[in-house]
Amino acid sequence: MRDKGGNVDKDNGAVFISKLRENRPMKNKEVILLRLSALILTAYALAFLVYPELLGRLVGFSHHSPNTLVEVTAFYGGLELGLAAFLFWSSNDETRVFSGLKTLFFVFFTAGVARAVGIARFGFEDPSQPIVTFLEIVWGLGANWMAPRFVARLNGSER
């Protein structure tokens, strides 16, 4: 909600962006992270939308039903494309950057932890799974670390 001074106050999230700077180009590490994440997710999403069998080739499974391809298309194609669109949208307005960064944290950190649980339960065949686990967790934690610092910098109270 904006007050008469253009300030944004969001209840329940304790996000207060009080010093919005109009017409300022947003070229900072947080925006770069959001846009890079959106680009990576878009590339994967498009690949799975066009060629859902690719997932099976990448991780070593074969599908036995059209339902498998539908699920890959929906979740690895559609869901990733939707997430990419949200991250890009978030990167285009400084009042949404915090939400985009927290989304990156929740999505990637959770995926990394779930992948780590999967590795513990089922093992892995090559180093790609532990590497991706590490990247997902670090990517998420990095976004989470950046989020409050972005708000503090925007408010003029560097952290």
The predicted-structure confidence for 72-114, as pLDDT tens digits, reads as follows 999 999 999 999 999 999 999 999 999 999 999 999 999 999 9
Q: Is residue 128 part of a domain?
A: yes
Measured CA angle at 149 (ends 151, 154), to 5 deg: 35
Q: How many CA atoms lie within 13 A of 153 on its CB side?
A: 12
Q: Is residue 8 part of a domain?
A: no
Q: Which helix (H) or strand (E) holds 32?
A: helix 29-50
At 64 the pLDDT is 82
Q: Is residue 18 part of a domain?
A: no
Q: What share of the chain is helix, strand, coil (3-state, %, to 5)?
A: 70, 5, 25
At 106 the pLDDT is 98
Domain of residue 41, residue span: 26-154
Q: How many CA atoms lie within 13 A of 18 on its CB side?
A: 6
Which DSSP letter does residue 109 get? I
Q: Is residue 20 part of a domain?
A: no
Q: Is residue 144 part of a domain?
A: yes
Q: Is residue 13 part of a domain?
A: no
At 15 the pLDDT is 47
At 156 the pLDDT is 83
Query: Is a pLDDT exceeding 90 seen at residue 154?
Result: no
- What phi and psi, each to the nearest 5 degrees, are found at residue 46? -60, -40
Query: Is a pLDDT exceeding 60 seen at residue 4?
Result: no
Give the chain's length.
Answer: 159
Q: What is the mean pLDDT of residues 52-78?
A: 88
Provide the pLDDT confidence category of residue 157 given band limits of 50, 70 and 90. confident
Q: What is the mean pLDDT of residues 30-54?
A: 95
List CB contacts of 65: < 8 A, sequence separation 6 or more.
Answer: none
Q: Is residue 134 part of a domain?
A: yes
Structural domain total, the chain:
1
Q: Is residue 50 part of a domain?
A: yes
Residues 39 and 63: their CA atoms lie apart, in Å, by 28
pTM above 0.75, yes or no: yes
